[in-house]
Amino acid sequence: MTTLPASQMNTTGRPRIRVMIVDDSAVIRGLVARWLTEAGEFDIVATASNGRLALEALDRHEPDIVLLDLDMPEMDGVDALPLLLRRRPQVKIIVVSTLTQRNAQISLKCLSLGAVDYLAKPEGQRQVAAVDEFRRDLVEKLKALSSRRRHLSSDAAPARSWRSAETRKSIGSRPECLLIGASTGGPRAVERVLLGLGPTIRRLPVLIVQHMPAMFTSVFAEHLRAQTGVTACEPSHGELLRPGTVFIAPGGRHMGLSVDRGYPAIRLDDGAPVNFCRPAVDVLFRDAAAAFGSAVLAVVLTGMGSDGTQGARLLAQAGATILAQDESTSIVWGMPGSIVKAGLAQDVLPLEAIGPALKNYIIGSSS
């Protein structure tokens, strides 16, 4: 274990974020420490080569964020994660692993155990583009988590339901599809929303854009199928929508909609990223506005950035119903916050209330 000196304030005068890096590779520890130090908002307060050493360092160095590798000797990340959270419940843990099917499954398990996010490590240092993307994602995720921590520790408002004066309306159209967009913190949030729907989930097709790598989305679909008991899958291009089926946008591909002989069908493409994302929520929302108009029920959950806002404008213009997760229950209030600030949400709700609210929209419109 290595302990590094830390200053107290960043260049903006705000408290710097304390980070501990846990990885059995000295090269990775060194690279990540250098990247975060150069970003100017973080102090690397400790590094550790396995989970046991991380536990020993936790109380002494009190990190705000822990970057936790999965495969390590003595104690791996899966075993260390619940112990770290038990000892310091407020710490934010990001799981970091190489991109394999096994690690995708383990990473999703870690999210259910309390990790807030995951990052896929590039296979080798020679993949320059992959390394650059990993560095950018790492810094952006930590900055997003840091901003939330500073805001909630100072002047965050309590959770409440909120209704936009610009978009307040009665719900007249029967929803014909449910759209969900999410990013950081999304896998757990999506699962809880779907479980909150109960049997109502079988009344209409559900289309989900969750920002995650390709191998993760297929595993995520398997996980949702096991948790909800309904069909959940990565769809094929041209596949027709079916009630009671959850369609997960494949990682690395946009998922939209087209109308084939009067029937809405899945449209997949490899177009350029939108809002730096592929798949992008904006693509799905835009196509759904054209295909379904006011018969869309959409929700934007936790995530950084503003993906979904432009598509939500088109949905709102078409008379669709849009809900957003509130700030206090979001891991990062970027995507839902952008929807709220743009005045596009009918309701802003804590996570546990979203599933029941969606169920009321679906059942109430058809009763």
Average of per-residue pLDDT across 241-251: 97
Positions marked catalytic: 183, 211, 307
Q: Report the CATH superfamily, name and number, of domain 17-152.
A: Response regulator (3.40.50.2300)
Level-2 CATH architecture, domain 177-366? 3-Layer(aba) Sandwich (3.40)
Instruction: Write out pLDDT tens, residues 255-290.
Output: 999 997 889 999 999 999 998 899 999 999 999 999
- Domains 17-152 and 177-366 are alike in CATH topology: yes
Query: Model pTM?
Result: 0.88
Amino acid at 218: S
CB 102 within 8 A of CB 70: no
What helix, strand, coil percent values describe the chain, rounded to 5?
40, 25, 35
Ramachandran class of 311: left when φ > 0, alpha when ψ lies in -120 to 50, beta otherwise: alpha
C-alpha to C-alpha distance for 263 and 260, rounded to whole angstroms: 5
- pLDDT at residue 2, rounded to an integer: 60
| Sheet containing 92-98, strands listed edge to edge, beginning at the edge strand earlier in sequence | 42-48, 17-22, 65-69, 92-98, 117-121
- pLDDT at residue 123, rounded to an integer: 72
172 band by pLDDT with thresholds 50, 70 and 90? low
C-alpha to C-alpha distance for 268 and 262, rounded to whole angstroms: 18
Selected residue with higher pLDDT from 296 and 11 = 296
Pick the range with the lowest mean pLDDT from 95-109, 146-160, 193-207, 233-247.
146-160
Burial class for 356, CB neighbours closer than 10 Å (0-12, 13-18, 19+):
middle
Locate the domains of the chain by residue range.
17-152, 177-366
119 band by pLDDT with thresholds 50, 70 and 90? very high
Instruction: Write out pLDDT tens, residues 305-322.
Output: 999 999 999 999 999 999
Residues 6 or more apart whose CB falls under 8 angstroms from that of 228 comprise: 191, 194, 195, 201, 246
